[in-house]
Structure 1
Amino acid sequence: MTLKNRLGGHTNSYHGYRLEQALEGIAAAGYRYVELSAVRGWTEHVPLDADAKALGGIQRMLNTLGLVGLSLSGHSDLTTSDGLELGLLAVDLCERMGIGIMNTAIGGHYSEHEDEAAFMGNIHKLADHAAARDIRLGIEIHGEITKSGAAAIPVLDRIGRANVLINYDTANVEFYGAVKAVDDLPVALPRVVHFHLKDKRGEGRVWDFPAIGEGHVDFAGVLGIVERGGFKGPMSVEIEFAGEPWPPLAEVNRAMKASRDRLAVLGLS
């Protein structure tokens, strides 16, 4: 099996570290693409209100390290007006950086118990703002309302915007949805725009997301479904460890390289 999908490293894997450290570690691990985190209040490696000079500096870093922006993580609480404004800024940031996919979640990074009616009152403005800029939105498998691909599909149907799709997280589907990715992904794949490749250790709500290959997610099975389904879109590796405090930088770098090496063995590099 040889997959041609673009594979990136997610800078959120370097939560608490500087953007320079994240990009250097991702490049040293052998990735050619990167998902940039612009999440206000969590990992805002790229400031949502960055001016042209700041973005120019980030682009020079990417160029120097041979990295290309794959997607932007712009999570905010889309059930609130403030969260909607942050989402609009994230879409604008995508346009300014030439990035075509913005990943988000209904309740942002922290929220799990979301107000679906409030979300529906905001998502159309965000979706239309993105569509006017030729940007697709990836609603992450996260929280209760989109806890799995099967749960997310009717939400997408109610949104009714062609540029609003799924950012499929291979570990969150277990953590929130109590279903294995290999069992849920086949029904979701036609509506997927982007993947977070993330491993998991422990059952249920155990927060332990190690390097790929060091947990129990069946990535051979996941990639087989991707290949058979003809999905050609981008994927990024996200490692969230056991949460805060984050591991030492050397361990994050090791985990990112180990993840890429394991995926290469499975046919994705």
Structure 2
Amino acid sequence: MADVVGCTTVGYLRFPLVRALDGIAAAGLQNVDLAAIPDYCEHISPLADRAETNRLQSELQDRGLRALSISAHTTIASVDGYRHIRACIEYASTIGAGIVNTGTGPIGDDAATFFRHAAELVKVAERLGVVLALETQDWEMTSGAGALALLDKLGSSNVKVNLDAANIVYWGGRKAEEEIDLLAPHVAHVHVKDKRGGRGVYDFPSLGDGEIDYGKIFSSLDAVGFDGPYMIEPELSLAEAERPPAEVEEALRDPGSAYQRHTYLGTSNAEEVDADLARSLATFAALRGASYSPSA
């Protein structure tokens, strides 16, 4: 069976949605993960009215694209975060996207609120037939054992894992290759990007230029019959020497701070994102061989 391959619009965070869709379509892909990440990359709004939704559907159809997922990362324990993810689950159902991705967000001492909100989100996801995919960042999700324990507490087949191997390193300081066998049976969605350096080091090069053994990652996913979607995630940034030193230091202490400030994330040149996507796709195709088909 051919892999289901696409790209997330998050890589084009400094550009309008239509530019992201143009770049993804030009790469020969047909599948999209739409960004609805508050204060970071809001390419779509889950509160869009019918006219806005019709425009989105037209923009996708005109480029031969289909939305398979929505990335809605926020803090589940907060009231605003809960409301946002709930709206994204409902909107995903409206536009035919079967997966909503999110991190747990920081928990602190408020685990009880997290689980109360999560239980309500699970009910909505089950009712609408949408998978809530918790990304491998934040809290328990950066280790296989932690993720399995959290999924077990949530107790629903509609709650799965959005695997981001690079984030396991960035957020948790762990090797993704050592966590994948526990995670693989529970993966519903993959963000594909590479990583250099350890925890808090914001350096995500094109696939194949980093330190993650994607051969091992793909082998473990193949072993459990995972067939996608694999969403390429370009995540460019200024070189470390060009970043505010205080922010570099802060990210080492608190990896999430880079996304809160994001003054050095992304690029002002959309063609750089196009090129990064092309390089990553070429490597992905080489690694996947006969399994790769950009039109699947």
Q: TM-score, normalised by structure 2?
A: 0.85
Equivalent runs, 1:1-269 vs 2, <5 Å: 4-107=2-105, 111=106, 115-242=110-237, 244-247=264-267, 248-267=269-288, 268-269=292-293
Distance 1:49 1:65 in 2: 23
Q: What 5-or-longer segments of structure 1 have no aligned partner?
A: none
1:54, CA displacement in angstroms?
0.9
Q: Is the 8 A contact 2:104 2:139 kept in 1?
A: no
- Residue-by-residue CA offset, 1:20-71 (whole Å, 9 max, x unaligned): 0101011111221110011122111011211111111111111111111121
Per mean C-alpha deviation after superposition, the further-off stretch among 180-189 and 125-134 is 180-189
Q: TM-score, normalised by structure 1?
A: 0.93
Distance 1:165 1:174 in 2: 20
Distance 1:203 1:88 in 2: 33
SS at match of 2:227: coil
Taking a change above 3 Å as real, the CA distance of residues 64 and 189 of structure 1, as seen in their structure-2 partners, is same
Larger Rg: 2
Q: Is the 8 A contact 1:113 1:143 kept in 2?
A: no
1:230, CA displacement in angstroms?
1.4
Distance 1:245 1:196 in 2: 17
- Residue-by-residue CA offset, 1:117-144 (whole Å, 9 max, x unaligned): 2211110101101110000100111112
Letter in 1 for 2:25: A
Match of 2:258 in 1: none
- Residue-by-residue CA offset, 1:60-109 (whole Å, 9 max, x unaligned): 111111111121111221101221111111011101101111111111xx
Q: What RMSD in Å do the two structures reach over aligned CA positions? A: 1.6
Letter in 1 for 2:266: W
- Residue-by-residue CA offset, 1:211-261 (whole Å, 9 max, x unaligned): 212211111221122212211231211122235242221111100111111
Runs of 4+ aligned residues of structure 1 deviating over 3 Å after TM superposition are 111-115
Q: Is the 8 A contact 2:4 2:228 kept in 1?
A: yes
1:112, CA displacement in angstroms?
7.5
Letter in 2 for 1:142: Q
Aligned pair count reads 264
The percentage of aligned residue pairs carrying the same residue is 33
Higher helix residue share:
2
Letter in 1 for 2:196: R
Distance 2:21 2:152 in 1: 36
Distance 1:112 1:246 in 2: 27
Q: What 5-or-longer segments of structure 2 have no aligned partner?
A: 238-261
Letter in 2 for 1:158: K
Q: Is the 8 A contact 1:170 1:217 kept in 2?
A: yes
